[in-house]
Amino acid sequence: MMKLENLRISRVDTRWSEPLPDGDKYRGTAEFTGTLGKIEVKLDNEQVHEILKLCADNVIKTASEVAQTLVTPVIELTEKEVLKIEELKK
């Protein structure tokens, strides 16, 4: 029997699809690799939502960091342009 501590998550794949007859919108798979081989588990809508809940804080944090990285140069450039315009007015 494969012990849980010997398993490593090697891949998680989730996908949105058109609503299925049972109302589910998400499907996915999780692949685990261990000393005895690997196993792939199918994920249903509820399981995918649980994974998304676990990741939500990091998704928000990363999105915020990306936004800041994109906006900061624009703000700095705009400030420089405003200073140039003010210098020209003098």
- Is residue 53 classed as helix, strand or coil in its secondary structure? helix
The confidence band for 87, taking pLDDT boundaries of 50, 70 and 90, is: confident
CB of 13 closer than 8 Å to CB of 29? yes
Classify residue 51 by burial, with Cβ atoms within 10 Å: 0-12, 13-18, 19+: middle
**CA torsion sign, 17 to 45 to 23 to 57?**
negative
Q: Closest Cα partner for 32 from 10, 3, 6, 1?
A: 10
The per-residue pLDDT of the chain, averaged, comes to: 83
Domain boundaries, given as residue ranges, for the chain = 4-89
Is the pTM here over 0.75, yes or no?
no
